Amino acid sequence: KRRIGVMTSGGDAPGMNGSVRAVVRMALHYGCEAYAIYEGYDGLVKGGSLIKQVGWEDVRGFLSEGGTLIGTARCMEFMERAGRLLAAKHMIETGMDALVICGGDGSLTGADKFRAEWPGLLKELVEKSELTQEQVAPFTHLNIVGLVGSIDNDLSMTDATIGCYSSLARICEAVDSVDTTATSHQRAFVIEVMGRHCGWLALMAGVSTGADFVFIPEIPPPENWEDQMCKIIKKHRDMGKRKTIVIVAEGAHDRNLHKITPQHVKDLLSNKAKLDTRITTLGHVQRGGTPCAYDRMLATLQGVEAVKAVLEATPETPSPVICMIENKIVRRPLLEAVAQTKEVATAIHAKDFDRAMALRDAE
Ligand code: F6P
């Protein structure tokens, strides 16, 4: 009987529970055993009660729950070989040779590294008499399948990461609330949104709420942005608008890669555009709460596909990441998706913003 482990890793995202539920139930449907690994890679490194066999009923109600019910952590020990050695030992002791991980690009890269080292780790465990040759013999290969769980929607090769649409909905609700008070007082609000190095949340929030100006890392504003922003906002006011909303992605910067801070934007709106201005930082509100319908669907369909990918994998198949491209669930090579994601950062760093945007769009 195959034993498949499932874990969530990195920053939590609404929909992660739906993916755990789908993996567990699909694994059982195909006659496998399912194991939940609690607290991300910490659970794998520490073992014991952090690795539990789970049944159909154990994931009841998961679909509509926010966050991750099996916990997550940013685990330092797994970054070291000694931590991965322990993780391999705990996997063999449980009888698992397949892992489905729902997390961001860092978590998925770590998993693929684990897979690459797997034979060497097992050899070392036998040499150190931690395990016997008989114990490790059936586990020649480790299967890794990635599910992208992150509110940032920052992974290349997928249209949507699990969690991004819930987060976007929450941001829109928050901006709608700010709108009413802004209109009452004819105020301007600078709203900072998450996204790390990716501007998707900020851009889509701007589109969805009709913001006056949006700052994102991939397309920095022109050199004269301070004047331009004030001019555009004045024009909107002249047309009768009673409020001003400027959305700043947390990773926003100018063309010289100097950070654009909400405080700087506020000072400009107050002093140059002469608007009564406030700053609202949405923070972790954007990451919490129940998943929207789209994320429940995405998490479920991708969880199902992840188990199929485990069962169809051969030793030669590169670790896949489950993606959504033009409304279809597809598999892509995990390392290629991560490499392309990293290239975006490299392009931004080299001030090649056209390339950064093209890479974000690429499949
Ligand atoms: O990756 C998700 C995210 O929420 C980013 O948008 C943000 O930059 C970061 O995580 C915040 O991390 P933490 O919760 O550790 O402060």
Distance 304 CA to ligand 1 centre (A): 27
Closest CA to 219 of 42, 347, 131: 347
Q: Would residue 212 show up in a list of annotated catalytic residues for this protein?
A: no
Contact criterion met (CB below 8 Å) for 14 and 322 = no
Please list the residues that pair with 278 across neighbouring strands: 189
Distance 223 CA to ligand 1 centre (A): 29
Contact criterion met (CB below 8 Å) for 156 and 171 = no
Ligand 1 — pocket residues by CB below 6 A?
11, 104, 150-152, 194-196, 250, 287
pLDDT at 357: 87
Q: Which of 97, 152, 212, 295 is catalytic?
A: 152
pLDDT at 170: 98
pLDDT at 233: 97
User: CA-CA distance, 181 to 348, in Å (whole number)?
Assistant: 36
Question: Which residue of 161, 167, 287, 341 sits with most ligand 1 atoms within 8 Å of its CB, as the best mutation to test the pocket?
Answer: 287
pLDDT at 359: 87
User: CA-CA distance, 309 to 220, in Å (whole number)?
Assistant: 39
Q: Which atom of ligand 1 is nearest to the CA of 154?
A: 1
Residue minimizing CA distance to atom 9 of ligand 1: 196
User: CA-CA distance, 302 to 102, in Å (whole number)?
Assistant: 10
With a cut of 50, list the residues of the chain below it in pLDDT.
none
pLDDT at 105: 86
Distance 69 CA to ligand 1 centre (A): 18
